[in-house]
Structure formats: structure tokens, C-alpha cells
Chain A
Amino acid sequence: MEAPLGRRALPLDVQNVSKIFGSKRRPHLPWSSPGEGRRQERAALDNVSFQVPEGEIYGVLGANGSGKSTLVRILSTLLLPDSGTVKVFGHDVVKEAPAVRPLLNRVSVDPSFFKPMSAMENLLFFGRAYGMRGQEVRELSTQLLDRLGLSREHASEPMLHLSRGQQQKVAVARAFLSSPRLMLLDEPTTGLDPRSKREVQSFVTEARRSSGVTILLTTHDMDEAEALCDRTGFLSGGHLVAEGTPLELRKQVAAGRPLDDVDMETVFIEITGRSIEEDEELEDEVKGP
């Protein structure tokens, strides 16, 4: 159930979310290498809070390993936070996951498809998994792919035969197919050629304008964040260390300098103390026994 009109629930309300990875020590066996089994716990997210109002594109900027993907996984109901709450349109992602899932969709950094199957077969599966009928999926998919510059021939090709950029465009089509109210874009343009990148960015902007979808975008591309996002938050070492519009963030660090001289890269370095290209520790490396 959605909140009644007049006090509509926020598309995204993240409060004091923490997630720690690591495991108990394993016994040191004769054949174990030195140090093996002595994994230390590490906070991938540490008391993170923010809210995203309806229709906004909210950017989460951070280096590799800063906690961005952990955050997206928690929002996607794929990872349980150790503490704190996340609500999507008023529904708790842990306690009301079945109510949350139809409301959101996601584009991840890797296109992630059944590679031997065609783009349309993949879209048919994911569309049906969101309760759509076959004909409905085919029609909407064709329109979305066409808008993204992919032809019917592309749609019938096995995903293996498509380029990385084309696969990512199919991933964007998959995510918008279910017309989510909250879209999670997890570094959607990383690794794309400049043209594909522009096309995906343009699609996202138009989709927001025409459909009203609320978007959370994680990226380490400062230009992309500045071009697309209404507000951004900086994630560093699992902490949300700053938040605001690009202009507000620039003003925060300008200290008398002309704002044109302060780009987002500079803002990020001055606030977090590190470059966004500088990898942090791997955030959630989990090994089986």
C-alpha cells in the first residue's frame, strides 16, 4: 500500500544504514598459508543517510570500493543492511521486499544477460518476470531499443554478438521496460565508448523528463554527475561525507576562488582527501569455503 496523497512517501529514504563485511576467523590448518582465515571486518557502509524526492536524479559519487555497489545492492533487496532502514515509497526494503521489487529496477556496470540468448529473448524473460505479457514486452522493447539506436536485427542477435555498448543499451531497455518508479543506475556508462555514453545519458535525461522516474545514479565520472544529477552525495570509505547540488558543493570548497576554477574533481579531492580514480579497498569480497 502506498502512503495516502497529501503525505506521499519519498521514493527513497535511507536512514543510518551500515553494512560490515568480513567473517569470523577460520581455524588455521597445516596447509593454510600465513594469514589465511584472519580476515578483518570492514564497514562497506557506515551510518549512511540521505533522501531522494520524487523525480530527482541523485548522484552517488565515489571511488571503486567506496560502498556504492553495496548501497545499490541493499536498495535492490539483494543485500541486508546490518543496521538502519531503507524505505522505497514508504516500503521497508527488508521487511517489505515483495512490495518494493515491482517499484524499482536497475542498470548495473556489467550488462549481465543470458549471453547465448537474443536481446529480445532476454527482454521477454525479464519483462515476464515483472508481470508483463509477451506481446506487451515485444512492443515496448522494440520501441525502447529503437530509441536507443538498436534495430530489430540487433534484437534478434544473440547477446554474445553485440558490442559492450550495445549490450549496455539493452540493459538500459531492460531496466526501463517495467516502467519503474525508482531507477538504480550503477555506473551505467563505465567502459562505454563516448558515443554510446552520450546516447545512454541522453536516454536517461529524457526518460526522467517524460516518465517522472526518480533516479539514483552511482558513478565516478564527475562530468556525468554534473550533467545529469540534481544533487550528489560523496561516498568515501563507506561514509557519506558531503551532499548537495553541484553548485552548493563547489561553493563549499571555493574559499574565495572563482567558482569556474573549482571543478567537481577538485571538490571531491578537497572533501574526501583522495582522488576519485584512487581505488579503495574492495568493498564486499566474499569467498566461499
Chain B
Amino acid sequence: MTATTVRAGTVLRGRPPRRVGLGWAFFERQTNLWKRYWAWEIVWLLYGVVNTLSITFIANEAAVTGVLSRREVSRLTMFLLIGTLVWAYLSAVLDDMSLTIMWERWEGTIEHTLMAPVPRVVHLMGMSAFGVLHALVRTTLILAFSLPFFHVQLGAADWATALAVVVVGSVSVVGLGILAGILPLLYPERGEQMSFMVQALVLLVSGVYYSVNVLPGWLQAASHVSPATYLLSGIRDALLNSATIGHEGSVLGILAIFGAVLVPLSLVAFHAAERWAKKTGRLKRQG
């Protein structure tokens, strides 16, 4: 035992914890969990591919009925394909962030994790980094499996602009994800279902499968406060209309503003929710 035990306090004393290392703890843990739940990952991948195919085949229906010209069908195919893929990405990030608290409640680790000396901002950034990377990998795989089913022209697409929109837009998506993750903190029993409502609202107003112009006026107004609207618009412009980064300056600017507002706002809100949960005794395991 003498050889085993470190004098109390000596491991941490005199050495400030490295923030990157602390954030890495969460990234690494999520990666380890993901490896153990690989079967679920396959299920979600399959679901994503089937969902993408089911929705994008609607364009083929339009071709069969002759409602649209061949060129319009090709455009509709791309429109729907981009919508389903972007939604696969957004929902994966939002899901992962919503699980920040829920997963810990299921496993019973919530108290041990939240009493660890990790600043909450570092904790959430570690979870966000994993969520974004996880969502990118899954969406890329869905794209790879889905593309062979459709005849799409991507030669004119401006990939650099699309990538810029994804990168800048992801910051605001992370902010939304942190806000969604607060709900399970506030409502231990029904928080997860409530976070699904957030996703559903974003899906409705952001023009994922249709242009926001087809929405009633009041829903169009709501679409302006969803960063997903601008993310989709920017990616579609880049891939369908060959828009350059210069052309998408305003979209990138709006997304950057969303990110600059949503991330600090979500961190402040998370802090307030955590304090309230500590006051009311909600930081407990469940199940």
C-alpha cells in the first residue's frame, strides 16, 4: 500500500490542470462510449441513409409524373439531398449535446462528473468537439451511401464555400445544442423529450425539405431566428449555384453573429440552470 498511495493532494498540487487536457477527457470518453455502442451507430447510420433515400426519391416521383423538367428534377434532387444531409448533421450534433446531461443520468455518473474540477465551459466544449466530429463522420457516410442512388451534378459546386458555411454555422449549432442540453438538467424526467421539441421546431422553420418561402408569414418570421435557415441557404447556394465565399459573405456574417451570441448565451444559461439544479437537488442519477 505504501508504494501505491500518493500523499494526499500531491497529484494536483502545484500543477495547474491543462484545459485542453480536461476537454480531451470528454472527447476521449465519448469516443470510448461510441466504440462500445458501435451497433447503435450502425442503426443510426442505416436510419440516416434510409431517411435520405426516402425523402430524395420524392424528386424522382416528380420526374415520373412529368410535373418538372429534367433539369428541375435534378435541382430538386440536390435540394432534398442537401436538406436531408444537413438535417442529419444538425440533429446528430443536437442529439449529442442533449445527451450531455441525460447520458450521465442514465449511467449514474452525473454527480461524479459535475463535482470534478473541470470548468463547465471546458466540459461543454469537449462534448461539442466530439458532437461536431461525430456528426460530420456520420453525415459523410450517409452521403457516401446515398449518392450512388441519384444522378446529381456536383461539378459546379463550390466546396470551399460549403465547408466555410458548415464551419461557421457549426458554432451556432453548438450553441443551440448546449441550450437543448439544459432541458434534461432542469427536467430530469422529461427533459430529453423536450429537447426533441427544440429539434422539431428547428426542422419546421428552417427550410430543410422546402424553401422557407412556402411557409405562412409568421413561420417565415420564425425562420429568421434559426441559424439552420442560413446554414442551409449557404450550403445550397454553394452547391447548387456555385456561390463563392464572397457571395455568401452576408450568410457567413449572420452565422458568425449567431455563433457569437448563442454560445455565450447558452453557457450563461447552462450555468444558471446548473445552479438552480443544485439548489433544488436535481443533480441526481436517474434509473
Residue ranges of A at the interface with B (Cβ–Cβ < 8 Å): 21, 23, 70, 73, 76-80, 98, 101-104, 106, 108, 110, 112-117, 121, 124-126, 128-133, 136, 140, 143-144, 146-147, 158, 174, 176-181, 203, 206-207, 210-214, 284, 286-289
Contact = CB atoms under 8 A, between A and B. Distances in A.
Interface in B1-40: 1-12, 15-18, 21-22, 24-26, 28-29, 32-33, 36-37
- Chain B facing A: main interface SS: loop
Interface of B: 1-12, 15-18, 21-22, 24-26, 28-29, 32-33, 36-37, 107-109, 111-119, 186-191, 275, 278-285
Contact of A288 (B15, B108, B189): B189
B25 A112 contact: no
B5 A131 contact: no
A211 B8 contact: yes
A176 B7 CA distance: 10
Given A112-B111, A130-B116, 20 more contacts: A79-B279, A106-B115, A110-B285, A114-B32, A125-B26, A129-B117, A132-B11, A140-B11, A174-B112, A179-B7, A179-B9, A179-B11, A181-B8, A203-B1, A207-B5, A210-B1, A210-B2, A211-B7, A287-B189, A288-B189
Given A112-B109, A158-B36, A129 B118 contact: yes
B33 A114 contact: yes
Contacts of A287: 188-189
Nearest to A89: B9
Given A125-B25, A131-B117, A207 B1 contact: yes
Contacts of B24: 128
B284 A131 contact: no
Contacts of B32: 114, 117, 121, 125
A278 to B, nearest CB: 23
B190 A129 contact: no
Given A102-B12, A147-B1, A125 B29 contact: yes
B15 to A, nearest CB: 7
Interface-centre pick from A106, A131, A178 (highest chain B CB count, 10 A)? A131
Given A73-B111, A113-B109, A286 B280 contact: yes
B206 to A, nearest CB: 28
Nearest to B283: A78
Given A78-B278, A106-B115, A128 B25 contact: yes
A284 B117 CA distance: 25
Contact of A116 (B12, B37, B114, B281): B37
B278 A80 contact: yes
Which 5 A-B residue pairings sit nearest by Cβ, starting from the closest? A131-B17, A128-B25, A116-B36, A101-B117, A129-B116
Contacts of B112: 106, 108, 112, 126, 174
Contact of A115 (B17, B21, B107): B107
A211 B5 CA distance: 6
Nearest to A121: B32
A132 B1 CA distance: 21
A185 B25 CA distance: 24
A136 B18 CA distance: 14
A131 B18 contact: yes
Given A98-B117, A210-B1, A211-B7, A133 B21 contact: yes
Interface-centre pick from B22, B25, B37 (highest chain A CB count, 10 A)? B25
B12 A179 contact: yes
Contact of B281 (A110, A124, A284): A284
A78 B1 contact: no
Nearest to B190: A288
Nearest to B17: A131
B17 A80 contact: no
11 contacts: A80-B279, A98-B119, A112-B112, A114-B32, A117-B33, A128-B22, A146-B4, A203-B1, A212-B7, A286-B280, A289-B187
Given A117-B33, A129-B117, A130-B117, A143 B8 contact: no
Contacts of B282: 286, 288
Nearest to B115: A76
A73 B115 CA distance: 9
B36 A78 contact: no
B281 A212 contact: no
A180 B2 contact: no
A125 B28 contact: yes
A196 to B, nearest CB: 17
Interface-centre pick from B10, B28, B117, B278 (highest chain A CB count, 10 A)? B117
Nearest to B278: A80
A112 B107 contact: yes
A206 B116 CA distance: 24
